[in-house]
Amino acid sequence: MAKAYFAAGCFWGVQQRFSKLLGVTKTTVGYMGGTMHSPDYRSVCTGQTGHAEVVEVEYDAAQVDFATLMSCFFEWHDPTQINRQGPDIGTQYRTAIFPQSNEQRTQAQKKIDQLNQSDGHSKPIATTIETADKFWPAEDYHQHYLDKRGLSHCGI
């Protein structure tokens, strides 16, 4: 299985959407891109750790490719907003891709360049391409949060 890491605001709705894609075998919400060892939700919410709320997507590349995952990611949130999505504000809610390979990094940059050259957004794409460092899974109560509560969507 291949892996991809995406940050698009609150991770609950992003996880729910990725979980429903054909070829996605597992999703886990967590934290990436910060400096604190073993962060938790409370510390990440302070904005002091530098972590983003991230969804780890495990997928079968024979069924769904990274380009398709990226297209969904860019459709599901506003990639022009800096450090926020909807009512959620802070660096932990930034839009980012954490590539797992040079190929993913190249594809991500190409997609951002294409989006910036298109007429699809009134502002430049704010999505950053960040170094994929250690992924820290979030607390159990965050995993599949919306599904556990019978909620069909999140305001991302």
**Lookup result for tokens 């939700």:** 41
CA angle 126, 135, 46 (to 5 degrees): 65
| Catalytic site includes residue 45 | no
Q: Which of 40, 23, 57, 9 is nearest to 141 (CA)?
A: 40
Q: How many Cβ atoms sit within 10 Å of the Cβ of residue 73?
A: 24
Catalytic residue among 10, 45, 72, 154: 10
- Please identify every residue annotated as catalytic: 10
